[in-house]
Amino acid sequence: MRLESFVRGSWVSPGQDLGVIRSAITSDVVAEVANGGLDMGEVLAYARRVGGPNLRRLTFHQRAEMLKRLALYLTERKDQLYKLSYQTGTTRTDNFIDVDGGIGTLFVYASKGRRELPNATFLIDGAVEPLSKGGSFVGQHVMTPLQGVAVHINAFNFPCWGMLEKLAPAILAGVPVVTKPATITSYVAHALVRMIAESRILPEGSLQCIIGSTGDLFDHLTCQDVVSFTGSAETAQKLQRHPVIARESVRFIAERDSLNAAILAPDAAPGTPEFDLFIKEIAKEMTVKAGQKCTAIRRAIAPNSHVPAVIEALRERLSKITVGNPELENVRMGPVVGLDQRRDVLAQVAKLRSEADIVIGDPDNFTVEGADRERGAFIPPLLLHCPDPIRATHVHSAEAFGPVCTVMGYDGIDQAVSLANRGDGSLVASVYTYDPAIASDLVFGVGAFHGRLVLIDRDCAKEQTGHGSPMPHMVHGGPGRAGGGEELGGMRGVHHYMQRTALQGSPAMLSRVTQSWIKGAPQIQEGRHPFRYYFEDLAIGQTFISKERTITLEDIEHFATFTGDTFYAHMSEEATKNHPFFPGRVAHGYLLLSFAAGLFVDPDLGPVLANYGLDSLRFLKPVQPGETIKVRLTAKSKSPRNAEYGEVRWDVEIMTDKDETVATYELLTMNAVHP
């Protein structure tokens, strides 16, 4: 097949300088790629002119719904991607991680977008900040989508997941994407983009794909663009030094080389569940994707007394791995992605062998099932042992990006921490212990050098997702050698594509601009009770001030008996003498909430369908028997949910009759849309 780029809404192949892509299994030509000929300035201009406005006019919920529809569409067609991916050297299990993992990320961001973001086009970030004594000048942070392009440069090892895990948060944020897959596996990414384009789910201009060289793409970047790169440290550094990146302060997110570690604690001796989990995870990370994962375990760090048992257990487990044609059912590990990659892996192994010995596997003598060992890019699982990791350097600096891992021993937790941190920044480390004290020492000893830490023990063994599996909910990235960037992490990944802006002004002005009522802004007290308005008719700032109610000792004692909450502060005057918070017997906080509801709730059938939440509750002043309370209820913000109802967030303040604030919180209701 001849691969084309998808730019400006069309498939084009203008270049005449053809390169070929070969099968990892047979070295036969799989695809041709044309380099050059694209006007990169126009590619970016099209995204900014067409894609950006099309996305920004949609709300977060509308974008989330698109991601869900796209995930469902791709799920129905994923077998086509599986079939094509075999030529990259991947098994069906490998493809599940890549294809289903990518689609799963779309589902996660679709769900989180609906649940955690408003049905709006911007975000309010944090609480209102008082900036003046009288309250007439306040501050509020907001986040808005960047008005540029998300340029995604992806690695060869995950042509589907790598594209979709970057695409999901960018589209949810409202920023169009130009994706550039690694050439050697670009035929899989090409098929994925073709599916997305044919679905017509994303608005025009939301996604473009460059196959082959990026040409002068970076020359046309601006301060509104984001570059997210996954690949080698060498390439990342070259791109980061581009003068436009520095001049325009282009956001640059890098995820690159990583010498990840698995740490076996002293208590996880042979025979313990944690020891077995350690062995299982190392073998898996060596063989899944033929070890071609940025999160794979490169260094297995174990107590010196456990090292012989670790090697023998891995020998037994790795001996069962069948290497060969990944389309065969009995094959558990395919080749690396190509002959060049095999040469690079073996060159790195040669460096490691200057400090470590190969104890499992022989790169010159191994069996391949269903394929020609010389024509395909096959390497057996290779385990090395470094007898002196303290003085060694290559085992902490050279990454063999294939089925390769080095075992090294330590004496004492401090030495284990030191060895783990010698990687100078990693994406992930995993810890195997059942001792919380040891786990704590390791976590806070290595945490600053790692983007993610996985604590694996017998309690989570059945459900843990593994050392090498970045989850959409959690941050993926790491300091130092790992690139210093972050991806995913739930809404954190969305925020990378947005600008945080500090707004300052009067409560009235900021309330109108942010569409969220701020204390000090005008209140609307005329008309009906706020609960009598349908969703679309309710005005932000609509306020109800309740009647007053005096709290009695009988109220407190009845509530204590009825609920079982007989905490001493409610029941004993003697117990509260010289108390730092309570001047005597006080009302239960939840009694005050219950009475507040009785003061502001409109009981008759009306547009309020349900009370479904309460946020940010703070009790600020204790209330004693004989004191009187009242409630202010103000419509703070609204967020449409569907054609039938929307969410209303109410600002609630419980006060004394002297206007002293007793408690504050936000109440959430679902209000009907007018039929």
Q: Which residues are catalytic?
A: 255, 294
Q: Which of 383, 275, 370 is nearest to 332 (CA)?
A: 370
Dihedral (Cα; 497, 501, 507, 509), 10-degree rounding: -90
DSSP code of 447? G
* Share of the chain residues as helix, strand and coil, in percent rounded to the nearest 5: 35, 25, 40
What contacts 260, CB < 8 A, 6 or more positions away?
295, 296, 297, 298, 299, 423, 426, 427, 428, 429, 467, 468
Decide: 46 and 210 in contact? Cβ < 8 Å.
no
Specify burial of residue 426 (Cβ count, 10 A radius: 0-12, 13-18, 19+). Answer: buried
Helix, strand or coil, per DSSP, at residue 472: coil
Compute CA distances 224 → 59, 203, 205, 420, 494, whole Å: 20, 20, 17, 37, 15
Residue 404 β-bridge partners: 382
Angle between helices 413-421 and 436-446 (to 10 degrees): 30
Cα 122 to Cα 118: distance, rounded to the nearest angstrom: 8
Other Cβ atoms within 10 Å of 36 Cβ, number:
11
Cα 120 to Cα 297: distance, rounded to the nearest angstrom: 42
Angle between helices 553-563 and 589-600 (to 10 degrees): 110
Helix, strand or coil, per DSSP, at residue 538: coil
The alpha carbon of residue 529 and the mean position of all alpha carbons in its chain are separated, in whole angstroms, by 42
Q: Which of 9, 14, 17 is nearest to 43 (CA)?
A: 9
Angle at 19 between CA 16 and CA 21, to 5 degrees: 145
For the chain, state the CA radius of gyration. Answer: 30
Q: Which tokens in the block code for residue 31?
A: 């695809």
DSSP code of 322? P
Residue 650 β-bridge partners: 635, 667
DSSP string, 55-109: HHTS-HHHHHHHHHHHHHHHHTTHHHHHHHHGGGT--HHHHIIIIIHHHHHHHHH
Helix, strand or coil, per DSSP, at residue 26: coil
Decide: 236 and 425 in contact? Cβ < 8 Å.
no
Compute CA distances 138 → 126, 516, 520, 540, whole Å: 13, 13, 10, 18
Q: Which of 414, 643, 494, 598 is nearest to 67 (CA)?
A: 494
